[in-house]
Amino acid sequence: MLKKFIATAGWPRVIIGLFLFALFVAAPFVGVRISTSLSDTLVRFGMNGVMVLALIPMVQAGCGLNFGLPLGIIAGLLGATTSIELGVRGALGFAVAVGLSVPIAAVLGYGYGQLLNRVKGDEMMIATYVGFSSVAFMCMAWLLLPYKNPTMVWGYQGSGLRTTISVNEYWFHILSDFFSFKIGTFYFPTGMFLFFGFMSLLMWLFMKTKTGTAMTAVGSNPEFARASGVNVDRMRIVSVVLSTIFGAIGILVYQQSFGFIQLYMGPFYMALPAVAAILLGGASVNRATIFNVAVGTFLFQGILTMTPSVINSVLKTDMSEVIRIIVSNGMILYALTRKAQVKR
């Protein structure tokens, strides 16, 4: 029974799950408050949830893990900065940011999808480098784009965007504080969860439509899908566009909670935690569900929140960064090596 559970869940997930459980158990003994840790975990869940959700369509359509997520993030950043440049504040400002980034993401995603259709079988490696090179390209663009708003531009030069831009006066916590409540030290960001639920619902509904089903068919067996009259290339492009759009919205949700827009090399490694989270939730390289997203994001963010506070008070050193690197990449490595085993 236990053996079977470990076999289906995979030993890395079991180890990481037990590790997180141990952290929560140990927390009160080393003077870490459970309520604050839990609410931190929930906040970070809300921040990252939509970005992890963005990985589903491409995995389902057989394009693999979207290491090119930074492309979607860039679309989100463009929307966010342009919305601030226009000077729209509050909920409307956030809506404008979303409204601007979605079409940008759709265009970028379409081009990216066209590219990935030409390199079937090598998607993940190319996606990684598409992400990297687009981030590096945008580094030049951030310096040159004609933004004028003084909150965003370097003061002494009068041109070129700052590396971090505060959204404090614009749409800080616009989702998080929507119907949020506090019990003692426990804070629950209701709005972010409602938004995550809404986006999950959209994704779920889409996966149930004809297009969504066809997409899953393409991922499970492209030859069979082609034989039954599905346009394989088109479905793959739809999945990439959808993933890029969700990535763009995801980063906006992240920023409104975090309070800052991080430009330049900020989005560089953002794909890795999202990928690690969905894999931790039980997804594989060719199958992922919304359940995987929810569980994985909670576990992964839980570890990120708990390790600094608990481990630091036990060992008196900050090992969280190293643990994060080992856990997230170990998880990705496990998933990549497992796929080949099944094939054989």
Residue where the block lists tokens 């999950």: 200
Kindly tell me which of 29 and 137 has the beta carbon lying closer to another protein: 137
8 binds another protein (CB under 8 A): no
With CB under 8 A as the contact rule, which of the stretches 71-79, 294-302, 306-314, 318-326 interacts with another protein?
A: 318-326
Kindly tell me which of 2 and 340 has the beta carbon lying closer to another protein: 340
Q: Are 90 and 174 in contact (CB under 8 A)?
A: yes
Residue closest to 90 by CA, chosen among 150, 162, 177: 177
Q: Are 251 and 72 in contact (CB under 8 A)?
A: yes
Among 15, 25, 86, 326, binds another protein (CB under 8 A): 326
DSSP 74-139: HHHHHHHHHHHHHT--HHHHHHHHHHHHHHHHHHHHHHHHHHHHTTTT-HHHHHHHHHHHHHHHHH
**CB of 326: closest distance to another protein in angstroms?**
4
Distance CA 164, CA 133 (A): 20
Residues 130-169 that bind another protein (CB under 8 A): 130, 132-133, 135-137, 139-140, 143-144, 160
φ, ψ for residue 165, nearest 5 deg: -120, 130
x-or-dash string of contact with another protein, 35-74, rule CB under 8 A: --------------------------------x-------
The residues with which 162 forms a beta bridge, in sequence order, are none
Q: Which one-letter amino acid corresponds to residue 191?
A: G
Among 17, 111, 259, 330, binds another protein (CB under 8 A): 330
Q: Are 94 and 252 in contact (CB under 8 A)?
A: yes
Q: Which two tokens stand for residue 163?
A: 């590396």
Kindly tell me which of 120 and 208 has the beta carbon lying closer to another protein: 120
126 binds another protein (CB under 8 A): yes
With CB under 8 A as the contact rule, which of the stretches 17-25, 111-119, 183-191, 231-239 interacts with another protein?
A: 111-119
Kindly tell me which of 22 and 333 has the beta carbon lying closer to another protein: 333
H or E stretch covering 188: strand 186-188
Instruction: Specify the 3-state DSSP secondary structure of 159.
Output: coil
**CB of 282: closest distance to another protein in angstroms?**
19
Kindly tell me which of 25 and 140 has the beta carbon lying closer to another protein: 140
x-or-dash string of contact with another protein, 272-311, rule CB under 8 A: x---------------------------------------
Distance CA 185, CA 45 (A): 18
Residue where the block lists tokens 């995801």: 250
Q: Which two tokens stand for residue 101?
A: 């980034």
**CB of 315: closest distance to another protein in angstroms?**
9
Q: Where do contacts with another protein occur on this chain (CB under 8 A)?
A: 67, 115, 118-122, 124-126, 128-130, 132-133, 135-137, 139-140, 143-144, 160, 272, 317, 319, 321-323, 325-326, 329-330, 332-333, 336-337, 339-341
